[in-house]
Amino acid sequence: CDIREYKFNVVMSNITRLCSTKPTPTINGLFPGPTIYAREDDTVLVKVVNHVNYNISIHWHGVRQLRTGWADGPAYITQCPIQPGQTYVYNFTLTGQRGTLLWHAHILWLRATIHGAIVILPKLGVPYPFANPHKEEVIILGEWWKSDVEEVINEAMFTGLAPNVSDAHTINGHPGPVSNCLSQGGFNLAVVKGKTYLLRIINAALNEDLFFKIAGHKLTVVEVDAAYTKPFQTETIVIAPGQTTSALLSADLGSGKFLMAASPFMDSPITVDNITATATLHYSGTQSSTATTLTSLPPRNATPVAENFTDSLRSLNSQNYPCKVPLVTDHSLLFTVGFGLEDCKTCIKGLRVVADFNNVTFSMPEMALLQAHFFNISGVFTDDFPGHPKIPYNYTSIVQPTNMRTMKGTRVYRLAYNSTVQLVLQDTGMLVPETHPIHLHGFNFFVIGNGLGNFDPQKDSKNFNLVDPVERNTIGVPSGGWVAIRFRADNPGVWFMHCHLEVHTTWGLKMAFLVDNGKGPNESLLPPPSDLPKC
Ligand code: C2O
């Protein structure tokens, strides 16, 4: 196995999009940031040097960080942030993982522009479980605000209103041609007739699930969140923030130029955003008239398209890549996922929306939970996170309860080493039902079932897929419905779980699991590196 070394300088760079330039936080001046290339089982060392005047931390989204929680990255969960002028080396091994992941800033809203791809190739000499592509391309979908992104959320928190939606979506950093603003050259994918391409598609947007489509071409999904899937063909990719999808593209149309587009998928009536990012696919050596074949995109609220895509995903479950879904579980948990209200003096209505799991709105600690855990520092968190709603209710009813206040707390849910967990994530109708892409750090989980309405343990668990459920790290809880996941708590440490819509995380839709050490020689959290930042 190799050691892959990278240097990430956090710097302010002037970046121009939509005909306006703003000082933008970036890594090495790039937006999107540099791609990390490695092979399964390689060790990655990323030296992050903070040259800006605010705190930073970087998360390697989907990297399991087996026993190396210190390198996971969420600020105040596994580390104190890297302060201005300071350096921290993230040191981790890509144990048993191959595919596409992403890295991103994990503090405030800095991941808007501080993000990039992680490409993990199979071990040397190990083939893909699909025909070798002619070429591979990373395709990062994102969002762009003309204004300072921190100001967008600060203003929303101050007024109690929803934050402004972005001014554009982007494909590899570019919105594509925009009226009133001459194109700054959108992304173009050059292809050769008859060849196959592996597209590593990443949703790095802050707040939006996206549809992705290429005119005239179908895509064959082969991997999501760095786990192989049974190949399936689709016209549209549906991808939530934090998710990745690798798909094969056969360049079999022969000539011309085709439009590629990313547009929002939103089933909530509250936010309205119809902006589409475009790019092109161009057959090399063929005439490219300016006209491109238009692709018809699903409408913003095309829930059936999203459901159809999600339900088609299955683990590859082959001899080489067996599906390791736990068949029995030690913990059977149900977390409601939804909104509530809190008093707010500066807010226009005297109230602000908060978000919660099981009615607990997470308060960020002032010291990293992992440090408090490792060094036995009391008073930082409590381990009484509720495994079920205190009083069960009709979760998806649209009749609003009179009391929408949530509890505050820095609570974790404790798991014994190697115990198995079944977790049902249940959306609620409080304020508004909405799709929530929930991301769990430190583990891959198996998505064993989903449905609309209230989860019914008797009826619904009979239909769980315990044969080839898809394995991933981020899953959408359907609007007005539920999703059930299972995982094995074989990674000691403190592991964040939160909604990957950044606005919901800010509102408190986050919690952490604490996994105790096991008794065996390789079953405990490693000690922290000497350069671990201090608070
Ligand atoms: Cu990709 Cu905790 O986030």
pLDDT above 70 as % of the chain: 97
**Cα(382) to centroid of ligand 1, in Å?**
22
**Cα(473) to centroid of ligand 1, in Å?**
10
Structure confidence at residue 295 as a pLDDT band (50, 70, 90): low
> From the CB of 504, is ligand 1 less than 6 Å away?
no
Whether 96 has a pLDDT exceeding 70, the answer reads yes
Whether 26 has a pLDDT exceeding 80, the answer reads yes
Question: Which of helix, strand or coil describes residue 311?
Answer: helix
Nearest atom within ligand 1 for CA of residue 102: 1
> From the CB of 61, is ligand 1 less than 6 Å away?
yes
Task: State the pLDDT at residue 183.
Answer: 56
Task: State the pLDDT at residue 198.
Answer: 98
Task: State the pLDDT at residue 459.
Answer: 97
**Cα(76) to centroid of ligand 1, in Å?**
13
Whether 343 has a pLDDT exceeding 70, the answer reads yes
> From the CB of 242, is ligand 1 less than 6 Å away?
yes
Least-confidence region, from 1-10, 42-51, 426-435, 501-510? 426-435
Reported in sequence order, the residue ranges of 175-324 that DSSP labels E, i.e. its strands, are 188-191, 196-203, 209-214, 219-224, 227-234, 236-239, 244-250, 257-265, 277-283
pLDDT tens digit sequence for 196-252:
999 999 999 999 999 999 999 999 999 999 999 999 999 999 999 999 999 999 999
Mean pLDDT over 68-86 rounds to 98
Per DSSP, the residues of 242-269 read: T-EEEEEEE--S-SSEEEEEEEEE---S
Query: Would strands 351-357 and 209-214 be described as parallel, antiparallel, or unpaired?
Result: unpaired
Mean pLDDT over 114-131 rounds to 97
Mean pLDDT over 473-489 rounds to 97
Phi, psi of 298 (to 5 degrees): -60, 145
Helices and strands (DSSP H and E) totals, the chain: 5, 32
Q: Which residues contact 91 (CB under 8 A, 6 or more apart)?
A: 43, 44, 45, 68, 71, 529
Mean pLDDT over 31-49 rounds to 98
Q: Is the dihedral of CA 13, 16, 17, 21 positive or negative?
A: positive
Alpha-carbon separation of residue 193 from 249, 252, 288, 439 (angstroms): 11, 6, 14, 38
**Cα(527) to centroid of ligand 1, in Å?**
23
Picking from 243, 245, 211, the residue whose alpha carbon sits closest to that of residue 474 is 243
Phi, psi of 221 (to 5 degrees): -70, 130
> From the CB of 436, is ligand 1 less than 6 Å away?
no
Structure confidence at residue 458 as a pLDDT band (50, 70, 90): very high
Count of other CB atoms within 10 angstroms of residue 160? 18
**Cα(62) to centroid of ligand 1, in Å?**
8
Nearest atom within ligand 1 for CA of residue 474: 1
Question: Mapped to the 3 state alphabet, what secondary structure does 11-65 carry?
Answer: EEEEEEECCEEEEEEEECCECCCCCEEEECCCEEEEEEEECCCCCECEEEECCCC
**Cα(221) to centroid of ligand 1, in Å?**
23
> From the CB of 439, is ligand 1 less than 6 Å away?
yes
> From the CB of 442, is ligand 1 less than 6 Å away?
no
What span, in angstroms and rounded, lies between the C-alpha atoms of 217 and 36?
A: 28
**Cα(87) to centroid of ligand 1, in Å?**
21
Nearest atom within ligand 1 for CA of residue 441: 2
Query: What is the number of residues in the chain?
Result: 535
Task: State the pLDDT at residue 254.
Answer: 84
Nearest atom within ligand 1 for CA of residue 498: 2
- Calculate the CA 515 to chain-centre distance: 22
**Cα(512) to centroid of ligand 1, in Å?**
12
Structure confidence at residue 267 as a pLDDT band (50, 70, 90): confident
Picking from 80, 75, 78, the residue whose alpha carbon sits closest to that of residue 114 is 75
Task: State the pLDDT at residue 177.
Answer: 80
Task: State the pLDDT at residue 529.
Answer: 98
pLDDT tens digit sequence for 344-369:
999 999 999 999 999 999 999 999 99
> From the CB of 73, is ligand 1 less than 6 Å away?
no
- Its pTM stands at 0.97
Q: Is the dihedral of CA 385, 388, 390, 395 positive or negative?
A: positive
Put the strands of the sheet holding 87-93 in their side by side order: 20-27, 3-17, 43-50, 87-93
Nearest atom within ligand 1 for CA of residue 242: 1
> From the CB of 469, is ligand 1 less than 6 Å away?
no
**Cα(106) to centroid of ligand 1, in Å?**
7
Whether 287 has a pLDDT exceeding 80, the answer reads no
- Calculate the CA 357 to chain-centre distance: 18
**Cα(104) to centroid of ligand 1, in Å?**
8
Task: State the pLDDT at residue 228.
Answer: 98
**Cα(194) to centroid of ligand 1, in Å?**
38
Nearest atom within ligand 1 for CA of residue 496: 2
Task: State the pLDDT at residue 184.
Answer: 65
Structure confidence at residue 260 as a pLDDT band (50, 70, 90): very high
pLDDT above 90 as % of the chain: 88
What span, in angstroms and rounded, lies between the C-alpha atoms of 535 and 525?
A: 21
Tell me how many degrees the CA angle 211-213-218 measures, rounded to the nearest 5.
Answer: 130
Picking from 173, 116, 141, 135, the residue whose alpha carbon sits closest to that of residue 261 is 141
Per the prediction, the chain carries an average pLDDT of 95
Nearest atom within ligand 1 for CA of residue 104: 1
| Residue whose CA lies nearest to ligand 1 atom number 3 | 61
> From the CB of 74, is ligand 1 less than 6 Å away?
yes
Tell me how many degrees the CA angle 259-263-265 measures, rounded to the nearest 5.
Answer: 145
> From the CB of 99, is ligand 1 less than 6 Å away?
no
pLDDT tens digit sequence for 142-187:
999 999 999 999 999 999 999 999 999 999 999 988 777 765 678 9
Q: What is the dihedral of CA 151, 154, 157, 158, to 10 degrees?
A: -90
Whether 131 has a pLDDT exceeding 70, the answer reads yes
Whether 290 has a pLDDT exceeding 70, the answer reads no
> From the CB of 314, is ligand 1 less than 6 Å away?
no
